[in-house]
Amino acid sequence: MQQRLNINQLSKSIAETNGCSIFTAETFVKSLFSLIGDKLIEGEHIKIKGFGEFYVDNEKNIIFNIDDEPFYSGGSGPAFLPLVAYSYIL
C-alpha cells in the first residue's frame, strides 16, 4: 500500500511519537531534507544508517536506496521527491 504524507502529517506523527511540539518536529523535518538537498546539489552521497541512502545518478535522477533496493524519483514505490527549487538544479 502506498501512502503519501505531507510535511504537516509527518511532523505531527514525529511530534506524537517523540513528545515534542509539532513546530519542533516540522523544523527538524525541513532542516533534514534541506540538508539532504544541499548535499545532493554538491554532488555528495548521503547515507543515514538505518534509513537509507540518497544520491544523484549519471542521468540526474535522485535515487533513494532502502534495504539495498533502489527506488527512483518519479517511479513507483518509496521515492525522494525534491523541492522544485532543487529539482531544476539537479
pLDDT tens-digit readout, 2-61: 677 788 998 999 999 999 999 999 999 999 888 988 898 898 988 888 778 888 888 888
Q: What is the mean pLDDT of the chain?
A: 75
Summarize pLDDT for 48-72 with one digit per residue, the tens. 887 788 888 888 888 887 755 554 4
Kindly give the interhelix angle for 22-41 and 7-18, rounded to the nearest 10 degrees.
Answer: 120
Q: What is the pLDDT of residue 82?
A: 46
Is the whole-model pTM more than 0.85? no
Cell reading at 70: 533502489
